Structure 1
Amino acid sequence: MGEIEEPRRRLEALEAQVSQVVAEPTTRNLAVGSDSDVAALHVQRRADMQVIRALRDTQLEHGKTLKEHSELLAALVTGQVEQGKALADHSEMLRTLAAGQAAILDHLGITPPEPPQD
């Protein structure tokens, strides 16, 4: 029976110490404080998740806007390239017309007037 009495006595002593520690105001304050700290962390985590979701939504909107702008810019560049080609064609036509006009004037013996000088 001595073997059972020793663990029982130690267990009772330990239970008494735990009861005493739990009864101390400092321990209660720590438990209450840790409870409120955990609650505050949960609130902060929820707020952080809302911010992250809002940032994700904003990034998706910005991505969509950038895609639209890229498509518009590509269309503008294509238009400018086409206009550049048309302008080059028109310039070639004007050079051809000017050469033809000069040949006609030369054939008729007419000296073209001097261009006005600024």
Structure 2
Amino acid sequence: GQRFRPYTSSTHHVTKGRYITSNDPRGYIPVYEYPLNGQWIMLDMDDGYVLWTGIWKALGNSKADIVKMIESQPDLASKLRRVRGGYLKIQGTWMPYEIALRLARRVAWPIRHELIPLFG
């Protein structure tokens, strides 16, 4: 079975998706996903990578600011996965679960209740 699963939440409708992409050695990304503020919150069910772009933009931030944030933490760059091309929904910056959780604790307080399916 999958190692990564969403937390149960009565207020969020989390669904499964599978998106074909040439950016991933698997050829696709299997996700749990749900909408938030016009963005998609996504969790890779195989390795727990989180689409940080969705969280960041759901907070009302611009995509350009992600680059600044990442450049301010050089140790982070090697752990990131960038998806370009293919489905618009999965495009952006993906990062390991633990890193996404740490960053969310720092910047995502306004939407913390909306992130329960992801971080509990």
TM-score range (shorter-chain normalised) is under 0.3
Q: Please identify which structure carries the higher strand content.
A: 2
TM-score normalised by structure 2 residue count = 0.15
TM-score normalised by structure 1 residue count = 0.15
Larger Rg: 1
Which fold has the larger relative contact order, with Cα–Cα distance below 8 Å and residues 6 or more apart in sequence?
2
